[in-house]
Structure 1
Amino acid sequence: MEQTNQMRDIRSLSDDDIRSAVAQLDQPMFRATQVLEWLHKKNASSFDEMTNLPKSFRTQLAERFSFAVPRQIAQQISRDRTRKYLLEFSDGVSVEAVGIPGRGKLTACISTQAGCGMRCAFCATGLAGLARSCTAREMVDQVLHIARDFNERVTSVVFMGQGEPFANFDETVRALRTLNDPRGLKIGARHLTVSTCGIIPGIRAFAKLPEQFTLAISLHSASQQTRNQLMPGVKKYTLPRLYEALQEYVEATGRRPTYEIAMIEGINDTNPEMRAICDFCEGTLCHVNLIQLSDFPDSELHPSPLFKLEELQKRLTARGVQTTIRCSRGADIDAACGQLKQRRPNAR
């Protein structure tokens, strides 16, 4: 096992590297085409799956390269059919990912980091701290794991699991492009959504990407003092600067960002807080998602009652702001927004 972990993952090789490796093994070049098809189109997770390759050739490949796919430590299934996975990478670091089925759709919610360093008060992940960032390959592997478990094609991916994607910007973009690649999973750019706490350099860099990936902002409050208390990790990115960066994003891309607001009783559901949110959003191109805060152990924060979300939705709609009250899936297995904390229930 130790030797395997030190081998290079074959999926990390370029197409030219794979052709070169096949040539070094004295195999005809059409074998390289077959290997690439297994990697890009069929998303193989082992050499044994490559059934149109000679067994001797598969053995040669296995002696030189690995498939460092994550190992499932645990799985939980919600009453609403949402599935949460605890996945362990080859170095022992683990993350959680969530599969959310719908009518003819399957959404993968994946992690960009193991843990998170943003320290958001309403999030179990942030309270646990940051272990390390994920590679692009590890992000894609979470999507593939979900697809295999459901035996279904993933139709959309939200980078809303553990971690701050823009604190791991380059690897996140590589993962987005891999998922969007027409040779592979072919997930449309608009069905790939990245959620950030509001890291402004990341927003500006994201706006320059040629692909039409979707941007979501964890807003949660439009009052600076409240936002600082809830989200200390982005305290330096003030609301006026965030507002300016988002308007620049809209002008550069023509795309509508989503603002996410988890409603917290007595914190951001008061009259002044609602008014501030309406003022921030009015006259801008955006869509607001309102959700009730998800409870987690040891938290002193509690979800707002539903009528508060309905009141804010009415206020925003009256100001011309598109607003949705969103049902957070998988709360009974701690798979909802802000609940991911790498707990280890009894493995299935």
Structure 2
Amino acid sequence: MQNILDYSLDELKQWMILNDESGFRAKQTYNWLYKKAWDFNEMKNLNNSTISKLNANFYVGIPKIIDKYLSKDGTIKYLLAYSDGNIVECVVMKYEYGNSICVSTQVGCRMGCKFCASTLEGRIRDLTAGEILSQILVAENDIEERISNIVLMGSGEPLDNYDNVIKFINLVNSPDGLNIGQRHITLSTCGIVPKIYELADLRYQITLAISLHSVEDIRRQSIMPIANKYSIEEILNACKYYYECTKRRITFEYALVKDVNDSDEDALMLCKLLKDILCHVNLIPINEIKEKSFKKSNNKSVERFLNIIKNNGIEATVRREMGSDINAACGQLRRSYIETQRYE
């Protein structure tokens, strides 16, 4: 049995034709799926032959909501269970300009970043394109509103699941599906350099966000193991190539950790690193994790760091904390849930 959400419309048309059905049946089926009809027997304009073949060959891989948390600021966090029992998280954030969703691309993560809860138990498996897509379908169905912006910044490293992530982008961008424009999609990566070049060559109009978090290779290596493989210089060169190919401004994410990377000298070095790149710096006061010793920078340090960057002519903002009262940072709720299950 295959997850029908992994199929593009063209792929489903080809399947229909190979199975003695009209290609038009694919369009009808697709319409039902995106109208949130996830039982083939409910697709009333399909004939019995088509429904029978769909039931025999496909399932609709919609995860079950096993927990839902609503923040006082309107942020909603979901714990979702797939049919194999694996659990992921996604977060819906409500803004004046529309609803955004932060989706997971893997069950767990193997990148090992020291301030992220997603990595604590490593990577379990990749999510397929349809499984990533299903997080949006579930959330839209639950809030009964359209989601217009996507951030690939939940559990997992998107470029470590490159093929499925690219197919996901194509699926959500399709006018036959959710029809979410590429400029409304942000992909966040810790810096897998060869995949940044591959992504650049596609000329997609998505926003590339780089999790930088340090201005020196040695310190970056201490908090982000990927830095042992790719240097900051290699990442920045890949970013420059990405801009040359796409003309899209790069976002650099910088998680501020007290007494680790939040000094005035760090801010000035960051400005020097980024002076030749059209970019935006997104400063992120970290969410503290009980298993780790890192502490959040105080407000005064964050404000001073921000001002230094802006005074050097680089656009920068401090990420607005959303869902802090529901542990909305990557991996926190999933880990809490798994620990609870262990002791029940």
1:158 counterpart SS class: strand
Tell whether 2:65 aligns with 1:65. no
Residue 126 (structure 1) aligned with residue 136 (structure 2): no
Provide Cα deviations, 1:204-245, integer angstroms capped at 9, x if missing partner.
111111320110000111122211111013321111111211
State whether structure 2 residue 3 is matched by structure 1 residue 9: yes
CA distance in 2, matches of 1:336, 1:187: 24
Measure the CA separation in 1 of the matches of 2:140 and 2:182: 18
Moved beyond 6 Å, runs of 4+: none
Q: How do 1:186-265 residues align onto structure 2 when only pairs under 5 Å count?
A: 186-265=179-258
- Which of these residues, 96, 116, 119, is aligned with residue 103 of structure 1? 96
Q: How far has the Cα of 1:271 moved from its partner? A: 2.7
Q: Relative to structure 1, is the Cα distance of residues 33 and 246 closer, same or farther in structure 2, using a 3 angstrom cutoff?
A: closer
Q: Secondary structure at the match of 2:293?
A: coil
Partner of 1:38: 32
Q: How far 1:19 moved relative to its partner?
A: 2.4
Residues 61 and 134 of structure 2 are in contact (CA less than 8 Å); yes or no, is this contact kept in structure 1? no
| Conserved 8 A contact 1:22-1:32 | no
In the other structure, the counterpart of 2:20 is: 23
Q: Tell me, yes or no, if structure 1 residue 343 matches structure 2 residue 340.
A: no
1:134-213 to 2 correspondences below 5 Å: 134-213=127-206
The CA deviation string for residues 31-53 of structure 1, in whole angstroms up to 9 with x for no partner, is: 444223323x5353222442333
Q: Letter of the aligned partner of 2:28 in structure 1?
A: Q
Contact 2:283 2:316 in 1 (8 A): yes
- Residues 126 and 32 from structure 1, CA distance in 2 versus in 1: closer, same or farther, beyond 3 angstroms? closer
- Distance in 2, matches of 1:11 and 1:120, equals 31
Q: Secondary structure at the match of 1:295?
A: coil
Name the counterpart of 2:303.
310
Q: How far is the alpha carbon of 1:124 from its aligned partner?
A: 0.7
Confirm whether residue 82 of structure 1 aligns to residue 75 of structure 2: yes
1:284–1:10 distance in 2 versus 1, CA, 3 Å: closer
Contact 1:114 1:162 in 2 (8 A): yes
Relative to structure 1, the CA distance from residue 339 to residue 23 in structure 2 (aligned partners, 3 Å threshold; closer, same or farther) is: same
TM-score of the superposed pair, with normalisation by structure 1: 0.90
What displacement does 1:338 show?
A: 6.3
C-alpha spacing 1:338/1:159, structure 2 compared with 1 (3 Å): same
Larger CA deviation: 62-71 vs 186-195: 62-71
Checking the alignment, whether the CA contact within 8 Å between 1:43 and 1:144 is kept in structure 2 is yes
| Residues 5-54 of structure 1, C-alpha deviations (whole Å, 9 max, x = no match) | xx222334423344236635xxx765444223323x53532224423335
Alignment gaps of 5+ in structure 1: 1-6
Instruction: State the distance in 2 between where 1:305 and 1:32 align.
Output: 55
- For the 8 Å contact 2:191–2:226, the answer to whether it is kept is no
TM-score (norm 2): 0.91
Cα pair distance change 1:308/1:49, threshold 3 Å: farther
Q: SS at the partner of 2:266?
A: helix
SS in 1 for 2:336: coil
Deviations 1:101-133 (CA, angstroms, capped at 9, x unpaired): 222511110111100001111111112211111
Aligned partners of 2:194, 2:24: CA distance in 1, in Å?
44
Q: Structure 1: how far apart are the matches of 2:326 and 2:213?
A: 23
- Aligned counterparts of 1:48 and 1:104: Cα–Cα separation in 2: 37
One-letter identity of the residue aligned with 2:129? A
Identity score, percent: 38
Paired letter, 1:239: I
2:61 and 2:82 in contact (8 A); partners too: yes
SS of the equivalent of 2:92 reads strand
Deviates more, 1:338-347 or 1:189-198: 338-347
1:23 and 1:29 in contact (8 A); partners too: no
Given that 2:30 and 2:177 are in contact with CA atoms closer than 8 Å, whether structure 1 keeps it comes out as no
1:292 aligns to 2:285 (yes or no): yes
For the residues of structure 1 that align with 2:44 and 2:72, how far apart are their CA atoms? 37
Q: Hey, what does 2:327 align to over in structure 1? A: 334
